Amino acid sequence: MKVKKHLLSRHLPVFTYSEEGALLKDQPFVQNDCYYHGYVEGDPESLVALSTCLGGFRGLLQINNVVYEIKPMIVSTKFEHLVYKMESEETRFPIMKPGFVQEHFEFQETGNFTLKQSHFEGWWIHSFFVEMAVVVDYTLYNYFKKNVSKVKEDLFAIVNIVDSIYQVFGMKVLLIGLEFWTQRNLVEIDAVQRALRDFCVWKANNIDARIEHDTTHIFMQKTLRGLSGIGFIAGMCRPHFSCAAVTFANKTLAIIGIAVAHHLGHNLGMTHDTILCVCSAGYNRCIMRHDNPPIAKFSNCSYSFFWGYGVQKAKCLRYTIYTKDIFSRKRCGNGVVEEGEECDCGSFQQCSRDACCLTNCSLSFGSVCAFGLCCKDCKFLPSGEMCRKEVNECDLPEWCNGSSHMCPDDVYVEDGIPCNDISYCYEKRCNDRNAHCRQIFGQTAKNANDNCYRQINTQGDRFGNCGTKGPTYLKCNMSDIFCGRIQCDNVAEIPLLTEHSTMHGTRFNNATCWGTDYHFGMGLPDIGEVRDGTECGPEHVCIGRKCVHISRLDSNCSPTFCNLRGICNNKHHCHCNYKWDPPNCVKRGDGEVFLFLSGSSYIEHSQRHGLPEVVVPLKITYNGSGVKPPGWLSYSLRFGGQRHILHVKVNKLLFSKHLPVFTYTDQHGLTEDQPFVQNDCYYQGYMEGDPESLVALSTCLGGFQGTLQIHNVVYEIKPKSLSTSFEHLLYKMVDDTELPPKRCGLTDEDIARQLKFLQESVNYTLKQSGYIGWWTHRRFLELAVLVDHGRYLYHQSNTSSVQSEVCMVVNGIDNFLQSLDVNVVLVGIEIWSKDNLLPTTNISILLEEFCKWKKNSFNTRLPHDIAHIFIKENYGRLLGLAYVGTVCNQLYNCGVDSFLNDKVQEFAYIVSHEIGHNLGMRHDDNICKCGSKKCIMFPSKTVTTRFSNCSYASYWNVVGKVSCMRISPNPENIFRQTRCGNSVVEEGEECDCGSTYTCAKDPCCQSDCALRVGATCAFGLCCENCTLMPSGTVCRKVENECDLPEWCNGTSYQCPEDVYMQDGTSCTGGGYCYEKRCNERNEQCRKIFGKEARNANENCYREVNSRGDRFGNCGLTARSYIPCGIPDILCGRVQCENVTEIPFLRDHSTVHWTRINGVNCWGTDYHLGMTIPDVGEVKDGTECGANHICIERKCTFMPSFQNDCSPETCNMNGVCNNRQHCHCSSEWDPPHCQEKG
């Protein structure tokens, strides 16, 4: 399970009433990190909704269609909980039927029986938000003894349950406000239906004006004549009907949560289930049944009704205003100019450097401005000074007016103005089909011919249509075929698209038509629709998927209206030429000038960087259909003549949690420290519109610092000094113009010499393949970094500064290696703080000596996969040097990198190149390609972020032979300091009862972590009432027929170690016990493919497992799958039949289906490099013939598997356990169960 991030509004308003009836509003602190949701392993349809706010677990568990309620056991010292099965006779509650009001039910049921009779899961997977307000009536307020805090705790737990139940719809239920009727009920709660109507009227007149919401529910303690509650059907988003009433009387939290979910379902358009409705195979007791059973699943009918109303008509569900992840409190000194402030220069240190703004957020004496595009040196720029350049030929420049620090609003050319010869400007874009295809499918792609549009867009499916109407795709009329979905040709590479996107290719009359899909409800921009304003014929453009005449875009403004001295902008005003004044460009003056300029407006220097552009990143908050996955942040930047959107998230696995930093004292003594390392300010991501883009940023020092790559161009970004408006400098990085260019220190001769003793073979078959997506499974590269004395002095002997720089470099390296699916983890830093321990003047000698020194002085201190030393030494043309193919080889897994300046991202590229050598990569030659002109392993210094096909081939060749990179670093994020009172029994403690408060309730343990007087134990399975349980008491029951029970020995609080039946013992279904499991084929098929599945016949095993591919094999070597020999076919991959539903498997899993001689054979794949359990291999211990079982994919004769222990060894008074000892029956003593005891 994991924490829910969006459950309660950040500023949750709570309304109460004074004794005089006055409305009071409060925004109390709400703990929002203790509400969890998740699933139960082994049941993909399970549901978990728990709260830990009050200690322990409170909430609901659903597994195998049974719902349980869990809550902490009172005064338990062993974290015990009570679990109630909500269907058992002991816990059955009086039947509480739900009610609903249908006379206002405006949504007419479509009668779409196709939907109703379809499968019931996975219909709706895109995001919706229900913003829910709750009113607590006077009866419930009194029931909780007027304790508002206690009511809130229960309400939050209930909303957590409701939110978890609705996750199957991709829906978030967000509690945005509470009201307590603290003096009296404000509507009469007697006749149920009249009470609901009165409450809805009161809500519309009162709550609606105070809180923006989608629905309001009133909770009460009063019984409702046998009803669990009542609500309006299809009332969502309709102010007078978006409400329901639910009673708490005689119900537990889990039951209430299910009842609220039921009545919220009515609001969303769901009626009660009929006999046609099912929510799992043959199971018709679903959440919307008339008697509101304790089940948390929706039926196929409920999905159909939700589609009909919730999706198509309840528009308010698509928007939310509570998705901001950063809360900024208004105050002077936060660097943001807010209401009442003239400026805000930030901290005292920043303000001391600001000539225009004072620390009290007012302008300094003589200053008229402090920030803005029209402010310079604390003065307004003169009228006519350009403050915003045009970004393309459909944009217009803006000028300062001389009286404001702000640049005027951004305007652009009026829609319909011709551009790019045959296209038209529309919403600041020149919409050209060829450019559109290049954006999706790469630089070689172009617009397809007319046949593609005619054939595809007339089909009316998700790949070719002219829009949607409800759940239906609209076919394009012949006049509109060019306005449906874009069709492209000459596609040379497979694009990397966002989640839920699909690319398709179709061949018609020797022409290949490429396009993308878009289906109803996707929360992503549709990159494949023909954009409005795109030309679709002579003087015709696409608008709303229709091909219309250009006159449709006409306005009152025209060149004539501007007296031919200007052009019309998007506001239908004249944008006048230079020296002509608006509004009609009649009079001369300081008017604006219009210039058609396309592309970038800056000139590059013949240096590493061009002239910088000044950019201001603007945070984007996604609403409604544009919601990003949790953890992602989005920013808008304007540079290079265009607006770009970047999406980033924190790089969580970058540094070792306890990062060791080694330095040296004046006496050359080695010291180790584990300083605090800020690890939540390093970000990775991509640029929207370019699936091969790369973003690597650090925000640790304020602002953005790092690398952006888009469309094969690399930029470096860093904060602008002394900026008060979050300005940044963006440099376009260009290749070296030095002659000769700088290069890697490895020559072809060096590589050949190294490979003699490394004996590497090169896979030319791989080299000739494509370069993308060869290796899709995670590897972890543990990197140690040494920093030489020169670099230490460069940072003025500031260890913290060195650490920060190393962390930023490693973040950049990690980004470069992401395309290999390699996570770079910094495991340690050593700084030569006194002097260099090795001579550094010759790079070749240094590499050799560094590896020797590392072997003798460093390897034992800090385990690592690769170690590199950062040197401030100029080696002329050489940038670095490393051994080839030596990762995991502790003698040669090292490299040297020259770091002379402060260009962190440029240096990250250099180190990535040298690490590439460690990973087996040679320098690229003419046959090597990566989709851009040069690749990372090009011999000379270049600007790129991609590895070539040759690099992938060499990497594959090495990584298949080493194992160190397969081991994931410890992902634990919590550092626990050893201390008494943390509820963990540690060395020197007899017990640990936690806080003083919890210890006061503990009868066995004192707050000093010692046992109380008279107590012999405080915890453990063999401890009860502070006393050891008597010998022979069962402390661990059997889990299955292959398990064995354990008993207390009377002298310890711990239960003996868990033991189980000896491998090879017979068990149910003709199977055999093996490692505590009864391995039986039918059961394995049911676990994968559902309850109806069963083991397939031998033909399936023979045909599939003898192929030797990822779907049928008897194991794999480093690079190939092993076909099963005929004796071993039953020990390869399990084959199943009678599969009635597609299983829900983990990422990287594939289900396959093969029909052989009229028999359906179902199985799963497993390929090299997958780091998840293989659910489809035949388990060891599975029967494969008479007296034969499978062991390591071989069918093994049982007698060769037998052990020294047998029932006879135990004198038939016990069984053999996994340690080959006798596990004696009751009243018989070990070791051979001969004597009673």
Binding residues, by number, are 262, 266, 272, 913, 917, 923
Measured distance CA(1158)–CA(1162) in Å, rounded: 13
d(CA 502, CA 64): 33
- With both helix axes pointing from N to C terminus, report the angle between 148-165 and 253-267 in degrees, rounded to the nearest 10: 60
Q: Which positions are catalytic?
A: 914
Angle between helices 904-918 and 799-816 (to 10 degrees): 60
Distance, in Å, from the CA atom of 866 to the CA atom of 868, rounded to the nearest integer, reads: 7
Tokens of 603: 């000139």
User: How far is residue 869's CA from residue 830's CA, in Å, rounded to a whole number?
Assistant: 9
Q: Show the tokens assigned to 117.
A: 């009779």
| Element housing 350 (H / E) | helix 348-352
For residues 677-701, one letter each, b for 16 or more C-beta atoms within 10 angstroms of the residue's C-beta and e for the rest, the string is bebebbbbbbbbebbbbbbbbbbbe
Specify binding-site residues for Zn(2+).
262, 266, 272, 913, 917, 923
Q: Which amino acid is at 605?
A: H
**By the 8 A CB rule, do 801 and 843 touch?**
no
Handedness of CA 1206, 1210, 1215, 1219 (dihedral sign): negative
Q: What is the rounded CA–CA span in Å between residue 418 and residue 423?
A: 6
Distance of alpha carbon 129 from alpha carbon 585, whole angstroms: 50
Cis peptide before 939 (omega within 30 of 0): no
Distance (Å, whole) CA 541 – CA 534? 5
- Cα 1172 versus chain centre, distance: 18
And the tokens for 388?
Answer: 């915003």
Cis amide leading into 740 (omega within 30): yes
Report the amino acid identity of residue 683.
Y
The residue whose two tokens read 């003699």 is: 756
Beta strands in 872-1026 (DSSP E): 880-882, 894-898, 1023-1024
Chain centre to alpha carbon of residue 33 = 18
Q: How many CB atoms lie within 10 A of CB 32?
A: 17
Whole-number Å distance between alpha carbons of 1176 and 1136 = 10
Count of C-beta atoms within a 10 Å radius of residue 603: 7
In whole angstroms, give the CA distance from residue 98 to residue 261: 11
Please give the Cα distance from 1151 to 1142 (Å, whole number).
8
What is the DSSP secondary structure assignment for residue 1198, as one 8-state letter?
A: G
Q: Which residues contact 344 (CB under 8 A, 6 or more apart)?
A: 332, 333, 334, 335, 336, 337, 338, 357, 361, 724
Residues 6 or more apart from 1133 whose CB is under 8 A from it? 1104, 1105, 1111, 1112, 1113, 1163, 1164, 1166, 1176, 1177, 1178
855 burial class (0-12, 13-18, 19+ CB within 10 angstroms)?
middle
Which residues are within 8 A (CB) of 326 and not within 5 positions of it... i.e. 6 or more apart?
619
Reading phi first (left if > 0) and then psi (alpha if -120 to 50, else beta), residue 1145 is in: beta
The CA distance from 543 to 535, in Å, is 10
d(CA 854, CA 443) in angstroms, rounded, equals 46
